[in-house]
Amino acid sequence: MASDLTAEVQQTPTGMRVIGAEKLDYRFHYVSPVFDVSHAKLAETYKPWKRVLIVIDQNVAGIYKETIDKYFSHYSIPVAWKIIKGGEINKNMDTFNEIVDFMDAEGLIRKEPVLVVGGGLVTDVAGYACASYRRSSNFIRVPTTLIGLIDASVSIKVGLNHKKLKNRLGAYHAPQDTYLDFSFLKTLPIGQVRNGTAELIKISTCADKRVWDLLVKHGKDLVENAYGHKEGAEHLLGPAEEIEKRGIDVMLKLETPNLHELGLDRVIAFGHSWSPTLELTPKVPLRHGHAINIDMAYSITLGHKRGMLSDAQRDEYFNLVTSIGLSIDHECFDEDLIIVATQAIKKTRDGKQRFVVPEGEFGKCTFLNDVSDEELKETLKIHKEFVKKQYPGYEGKEAYVDAGDLGEDVNSYLAQKNGNGAAESQKKVNGQGVKQAAIAAGAIPVNGKVTDSESGAIKVAA
């Protein structure tokens, strides 16, 4: 098992006290391609069970099911499939129940690990089903998106959305093993690759100068060539591997002392202060990577304004992210949003701002707690002027969620949400938009009833 819990009972003057600790033991394996018959490691795990139960994302199954079938049949291991629909609107109890029904129908044996294959969405929902099934079941993850590989599958958080509220239900549940195979990026749409790259930029800006420098040098090519997995781009595999492995290593080292996220000064919260609200504010939600990049770019402007970063450092940041096609500003990113989002995020940070800003050089950062509303507004003005002057007309590429992210066609999503099918403007519906977004992001409590009448109205920050 990936975790084991032991405790002892002590007598106290008034009763008893139970005191114990949970032992965690979970592994990461770099194996590529993981479903190549020459790599027996995964198959060997399933040999004792004489079968494998697979929960997989529908799109991923469309591309890889045959390969996976071949792999297990080579080792004479029968497969039972549960193919689930991806998309944020399917990150719900119905999908959870489908997975539980599958485990029941197949008679999952205690300790038998379910194999979960897909992006962060599937590994989150299936991981939560495993956390709950018979109070705790084993699973093994094979992430297939860049977000999955360097973020979702590095953490032990699993969960799903409740009505309009993002990741409201969940657990900390470590898988037994995670297989990291970046060759899946070959088939991942470029918009998703760009999206995941924002998280690597986040980690490197604040915690790893070497990864930062490699991204400055190769970032654009890496995104355009699936981190070296497109044909003819093999020369990128070396730097890509260094970025991937160091990125995961840094992420693990930063987060493992704080697996339950009780410590609130979190380096990996860079880019995640205003973005949870921003991500949800436009009619069609922004992709997570674009929202966090606007937040990071604004934080760079703040750091530069305070003299913590030089002109050259600020320019290096903006040049990298624009070469990749990430957003650096948005019409919804206005004074209202900054103030509401600041109040909202403070509620999740014990009343403090804890704004992460790189300091002195990339790879290092500090936490700010003394930024007044006036300074936030002034910084916004400077930010918008700088963007307008240096990058006139620039817009992030494929900045909004698509059918793959949502789980349904964007126009029918809009039609249900707003009563009209046209994707006219991306601007917020009205002044309430910002507040509703902050609520859905989980940053401020719900005031009144949460309904799911606006189907699919969620797609928020991780």
Would you tell me which residues interact with Zn ion (CB under 5 A)? 462
Number of residue whose CB is nearest Zn ion: 462
Which is it for the CA torsion 239, 223, 55, 94, positive or negative?
positive
By the rule CB under 6 A, 303 interacts with ligand NAD: no
Contact pattern for ligand NAD over residues 106 through 125, marking x by CB under 6 A: ------------xxxxx-x-
Which residues in the 179-218 window bind ligand NAD by CB under 6 A?
184, 187-188, 192
Q: Which is nearer to Zn ion, 100 or 441 (CB)?
A: 441
Partner interacting with residue 228 (select from Zn ion, ligand NAD, none; CB below 5-8 Å by kind): none
Q: Cα–Cα distances in Å, from 164 out to 287, 295, 402, 454? A: 17, 23, 18, 8
Q: Which is nearer to ligand NAD, 88 or 177 (CB)?
A: 88
Which residues in the 51-70 window bind ligand NAD by CB under 6 A?
57, 59-60, 63
Least distance in angstroms from the C-beta of 93 to ligand NAD: 15
- State the amino acid at position 365 in one-letter form: C
Q: Cα–Cα distances in Å, from 40 out to 31, 37, 45, 70, 183? A: 10, 6, 9, 13, 17
By the rule CB under 6 A, 92 interacts with ligand NAD: no
Of 14-22, 150-158, 243-251, 450-458, the segment contacting ligand NAD by CB under 6 A is 150-158
CA-CA distance, 105 to 421, in Å (whole number)? 40
Strands 27-30 and 355-359: unpaired
Report yes or no: 219 and 324 within 8 Å, Cβ to Cβ. Answer: yes
By the rule CB under 6 A, 301 interacts with ligand NAD: no
Tokens of 119: 């992006």
- State the amino acid at position 149 in one-letter form: L
End-to-end CA distance of the chain: 26
Contact pattern for ligand NAD over residues 154 through 183, marking x by CB under 6 A: -x-x---------x----------------
Which residues, other chains included, contact 213 with Cβ-Cβ below 8 Å and sequence gap of 6+?
none
Contact pattern for ligand NAD over residues 231 through 270, marking x by CB under 6 A: ----------------------------------------
Least distance in angstroms from the C-beta of 13 to ligand NAD: 42
Torsion angle of C-alpha atoms 138, 68, 35, 127, degrees rounded to 10: -20
Partner interacting with residue 91 (select from Zn ion, ligand NAD, none; CB below 5-8 Å by kind): ligand NAD
Please report which residue ranges of 133-259 form alpha helices under DSSP H.
146-147, 190-207, 209-224, 237-255
DSSP 15-56: EEEEEEEEEE--EEEE-TTTTSTT--HHHHHHGGGTSEEEEE
Q: Which is nearer to ligand NAD, 375 or 408 (CB)?
A: 408
Least distance in angstroms from the C-beta of 407 to ligand NAD: 8
Report yes or no: 173 and 159 within 8 Å, Cβ to Cβ. Answer: no
Contact pattern for ligand NAD over residues 340 through 359, marking x by CB under 6 A: --------------------
Least distance in angstroms from the C-beta of 59 to ligand NAD: 3
Contact pattern for ligand NAD over residues 397 through 416, marking x by CB under 6 A: -------xx-----------
Residues engaged in binding ligand NAD (CB under 6 A): 57, 59-60, 63, 86, 88, 91, 118-122, 124, 144-145, 147-148, 151-152, 155, 157, 167, 184, 187-188, 192, 404-405, 462
